[in-house]
Chain A
Amino acid sequence: FHFLSRSQSNSLTTTRVLYKEIHNSTAHYFFRRISSLKLTKMSKKIVLKTSDGESFEIDDSIALQSETIAHLIGDDSASTSNGFPLANVTSNVLSTVIEYCKKHASVASEEELKKWDAEFVKVDDSTIFDLILAANYLNISGLLDLTCQTVADKIAACKDADEIRATFDIENDFTPEEEEELRRENQWSFQ
C-alpha cells in the first residue's frame, strides 16, 4: 500500500485524505473528509489477525483501547502493514470485542453506555469467559471490568458453594476432613 496524498499537519482545518486500498486485486479509492472537530490527527487503520487466520481492519482510535495493541504500535510500527497477530483470540471473539470498542469510542452518554453494556453481556457463559480472556490478553480495562462483574453477579446469585459448583461445573477437591477444618478454623486451607 502507499498513501497517495497525506496531510501531515495537525491543524484544525478539514483534511481530505485519499486511501488507496487493494482488495481482492481490485483497487478502491476512497475520499474521506474528516471533520476537524473530531480528529486533530489522521486516523490510521490497524490490521489484526486472529488465531484462525482472519484479518480485521479497524481504526486506530478503536484499536488503541487495547493497551496491548497500543504498546505494540509504539514499539514496532513496521509490522503495521502485515497486521498484528493475536494468537489467543478467535475471529468470533474479536468481532465481539471490536463491537464493544466501537461503541465505547463513539459519542454516547454514560447512561446510554450502561444500558448498552447491560445488553451486551446477555450472552451465554462460554462467550463471557472468552471475552474475559480476550479482554485480559488485549488489556481492555473497561471490557474486563464489565465481564468480570457479570460473572461476579452470577456467582453472587448462587445460594452457597454447592450451587456455585453446580453452575460452573467445578470439582470439589476438598476432602471431608479439610472441609470440616475450613469451617472450623479461621485459616486459609492452602497454607
Chain B
Amino acid sequence: SCNYVVSLYIKTFRPIAPALSKTMMENKNNNGGFGGEESSIDGDILASILSKLPLLDLDSACHVSKSWNRAVFFSLRRLKTMPWLFVYRQRRLPPCTMAAKAMAYDPKSDKWIELITASPVEHVAAARSSHSTLLYALSPTKFSFSVDAFHLNWRHVVPPRVWRIDPIVAVVGKSLIVAGGVCVFEDDKLAVEFLDIEIGGGVWERCESMPDFLWNSASSTWLSVAASSEKMYVTEKRSGMACSFDPETRSWTELLDLSPVDEYGECKLYSRVIGSAGNRLIMAGITGKDYNPTGIELWEIVSSESPMNLKFESIGSMPKACFDKLRGVDSDWPLTSIALNAVGDMVYVHNATETGEIVAAEIEEGKLCKWRTLRNADATWNRSDAGERVIVACSNVSFSDLKSAFKDNLSFSVVSRI
C-alpha cells in the first residue's frame, strides 16, 4: 500500500492550471465541454485528444473518470509512440552497481525525466548497450542482458564458452549472438556463438565464424552493430566493410561496402555507424576528415537481391548548428566516431567520447526532420562523476511498459527547465 506512494510521479515544473470557465458547463445546446451527462466531446474525440498526450500524462488521464479511462484505452490505438532515449550510469569499480537514478528523454513532451529505481541492479562487469535496445554485461562467470523498455528486468545466463573481451553482442529474434572480441586463449578470434533465449537453461552453440576481413577489427571498438528482426548487420566504422549474419541459417553473407559515393565517385565518409530503426537499416556517417569533420549525413540502406547492389537513399543531413553542438566546446578535438541510437521513427546521435550535446531528429515520410539538440544536455554527461560509466540506450516505451514500471517501483520525476 505504501509502496504505491513511491511510484506516483511528481512533476517539478508546471504552469498554473487555467482558471475554470463556468460557461463551459452551461448547456447551450449540449455544448458542455467534457463534463455533463450528455457530453458532446464524445469518446472518439476525447481519444483523439488523449492520443496527443505524452505517456506520463496519459497515466493521470486514465484516473480521471470512467469515460476518460475508456478513452485512454481507445487512444492507444492511434498513439504515435516516440522512442525514449535512456542514459544510465554504473560504478566503474566493483560492486558495479547501476545507479539508482537514470535519465530518460521523452521526445513527445520534449522533456527529460528522472527515473529512480528502488532496487538497482548489481553487475560484476561493465554494462554496455548494443543496437540501442540491448543492455548487457559480460563476465567470466555470467552473461547478463536486458531487452525490456526500462531495462529493469535482467536475465542471467552462463557466459559463452570462448572467453573474449569486447565482443559484439546482439539479440536477433530469439537468438543472442556473441561474436569476435579480443581473445587471448582462443585461436579463432572470429568465433561466433549463439544462444536461444527462449529456452530456459540454453547452451551456447558455435557456428560459422566472422569473415576474415574482420581479423584485425573484430571487437565492439571498431565495429558498429545493427539488429533487425531477422538479421544482424556488422560494419567496420572506418572502412565501411560490412556483412550480415542470419541466425536462422547461422551464416554470414558476402562482403558489403557501406560507402556511398557522390557524383564524383568519391566516398566522403571516414567513419560510419549503423542502426535499425523500425524496419529500415540506417547509416550515419561523418564526412570530411577526423581532424576536420565537415558534417554528418544519414542514409537508409536498401539492398536488393544481389548483395553488391546496395542502394543508399539519403534521408537527411545534420544541420550545422546541431553538428557544432554535437562536437561540443572542444571542437579542436578530432571527431573520431559517433554513436547512433535509432529506434522506430526517432534518431539520436552523439559524440562517442560522451562530450557535447545529443542531437535528435524524427523520421517522417522517410526523411529526417525536426532536428534539435536535447535541452538540459548537462543532464546527461555532466551528472556522472569520474567513478561512473555512462551507458546510452533507446527503446520504444508503450503505455503498458509504463504501467509495468510503476509496478516495479520505478518513480518518474519530470526535470524542470533550467
Least CB separation from A161: chain B residue: B63
Is A27 an interface residue, CB under 8 A from the partner?
Answer: no
Is A116 an interface residue, CB under 8 A from the partner?
Answer: no
**Bound Cα distance A157, B400 (Å):** 22
Q: Are B53 and A168 in contact (CB under 8 A)?
A: no
Is B320 an interface residue, CB under 8 A from the partner?
Answer: no
Is A144 an interface residue, CB under 8 A from the partner?
Answer: yes
Interface residues of B in 65-89 (CB under 8 A from A): 65-70, 73
With a CB–CB cut-off of 8 A, which chain B residues contact A130? 31
Q: Are B65 and A133 in contact (CB under 8 A)?
A: no
Q: Are B11 and A124 in contact (CB under 8 A)?
A: no
Is A149 an interface residue, CB under 8 A from the partner?
Answer: yes
With a CB–CB cut-off of 8 A, which chain B residues contact A155? 49-50, 53, 57, 61
Q: Are A152 and B31 in contact (CB under 8 A)?
A: no
Is A183 an interface residue, CB under 8 A from the partner?
Answer: yes
Minimum Cβ distance to chain A for residue B107 (Å): 14
Q: Are B34 and A161 in contact (CB under 8 A)?
A: no
With a CB–CB cut-off of 8 A, which chain A residues contact B60? 158-161, 164
A156-B53, A157-B15 known; A144 and B66 CB under 8 Å? no
With a CB–CB cut-off of 8 A, which chain B residues contact A170? 34-35, 64-65, 68
Interface residues of A in 165-184 (CB under 8 A from B): 165-174, 179, 182-184
| Interface size of B in residues (CB-CB distance below 8 Å) | 44
Q: Are B57 and A125 in contact (CB under 8 A)?
A: no
Is B54 an interface residue, CB under 8 A from the partner?
Answer: yes
Q: List 5 A-B contacts (CB under 8 A).
A: A151-B49, A160-B8, A165-B64, A174-B66, A179-B63
Other-chain contact of B45, A136, A149, A159 (Cβ < 8 Å)? A136
Q: Are A126 and B49 in contact (CB under 8 A)?
A: no
With a CB–CB cut-off of 8 A, which chain A residues contact B382? none
Q: Mark B21-48, 1 if CB is under 8 A from A, else 0.
A: 1011100010101110000110001001
Q: Which of A126, A133, A165 has the most CB of B within 10 A?
A: A126
**Bound Cα distance A24, B104 (Å):** 65
Is B155 an interface residue, CB under 8 A from the partner?
Answer: no
Q: Are A171 and B65 in contact (CB under 8 A)?
A: yes
With a CB–CB cut-off of 8 A, which chain A residues contact B383? none
Least CB separation from B31: chain A residue: A130
With a CB–CB cut-off of 8 A, which chain B residues contact A129? 24, 31, 33-34, 41
Kindly count the residue-residue contacts between A and B in the assembled complex, taking CB atoms under 8 Å apart. 123
With a CB–CB cut-off of 8 A, which chain A residues contact B4? 183-184
Is B52 an interface residue, CB under 8 A from the partner?
Answer: yes
Least CB separation from A167: chain B residue: B17
Minimum Cβ distance to chain A for residue B167 (Å): 37
With a CB–CB cut-off of 8 A, which chain A residues contact B370? none
**Bound Cα distance A152, B18 (Å):** 13
Q: Are A156 and B54 in contact (CB under 8 A)?
A: yes
Least CB separation from B403: chain A residue: A186
Least CB separation from B111: chain A residue: A156
Q: Are B109 and A168 in contact (CB under 8 A)?
A: no
Other-chain contact of B69, A90, A132, A171, A190 (Cβ < 8 Å)? A190
| Interface size of A in residues (CB-CB distance below 8 Å) | 43
Minimum Cβ distance to chain B for residue A109 (Å): 16
Other-chain contact of B34, A152, A159, A168, A183 (Cβ < 8 Å)? A168
Is B303 an interface residue, CB under 8 A from the partner?
Answer: no
**Bound Cα distance A166, B68 (Å):** 14
Q: Are A152 and B73 in contact (CB under 8 A)?
A: no
Q: Are A173 and B17 in contact (CB under 8 A)?
A: no
Minimum Cβ distance to chain A for residue B161 (Å): 39
With a CB–CB cut-off of 8 A, which chain B residues contact A154? 18
Q: Are B33 and A168 in contact (CB under 8 A)?
A: yes
Q: Are A166 and B17 in contact (CB under 8 A)?
A: yes
Least CB separation from B24: chain A residue: A126
Supplied contacts A152-B53, A170-B65, 16 more A-B pairs, CB within 8 Å: A125-B21, A129-B33, A144-B48, A155-B50, A158-B17, A158-B60, A163-B17, A166-B20, A167-B20, A171-B35, A174-B63, A182-B63, A186-B404, A186-B407, A188-B73, A189-B66
Minimum Cβ distance to chain A for residue B364 (Å): 13
Least CB separation from B49: chain A residue: A148
Q: Are A165 and B65 in contact (CB under 8 A)?
A: yes
Q: Are B23 and A126 in contact (CB under 8 A)?
A: yes
With a CB–CB cut-off of 8 A, which chain A residues contact B52? 148-149, 152
Least CB separation from B63: chain A residue: A161
A132-B45, A186-B400 known; A169 and B57 CB under 8 Å? no
Is B14 an interface residue, CB under 8 A from the partner?
Answer: yes
Q: Mark B131-175, 1 if CB is under 8 A from A, else 0.
A: 000000000000000000000000000000000000000000000
With a CB–CB cut-off of 8 A, which chain A residues contact B25? 169
Q: Are B53 and A132 in contact (CB under 8 A)?
A: no
With a CB–CB cut-off of 8 A, which chain B residues contact A148? 45, 48-49, 52
**Bound Cα distance A169, B14 (Å):** 19
Least CB separation from A148: chain B residue: B49
Least CB separation from B8: chain A residue: A160
A129-B33, A186-B407 known; A157 and B14 CB under 8 Å? yes
**Bound Cα distance A182, B61 (Å):** 12
**Bound Cα distance A132, B161 (Å):** 63
With a CB–CB cut-off of 8 A, which chain A residues contact B14? 157-159
Q: Mark A128-143, 1 if CB is under 8 A from B, else 0.
A: 0110110010000000
Minimum Cβ distance to chain A for residue B73 (Å): 5
Least CB separation from B9: chain A residue: A160
Least CB separation from B404: chain A residue: A186
Q: Are A169 and B33 in contact (CB under 8 A)?
A: yes
Q: Mark B381-414, 1 if CB is under 8 A from A, else 0.
A: 0000000000000000000100110010000000
Least CB separation from B35: chain A residue: A169
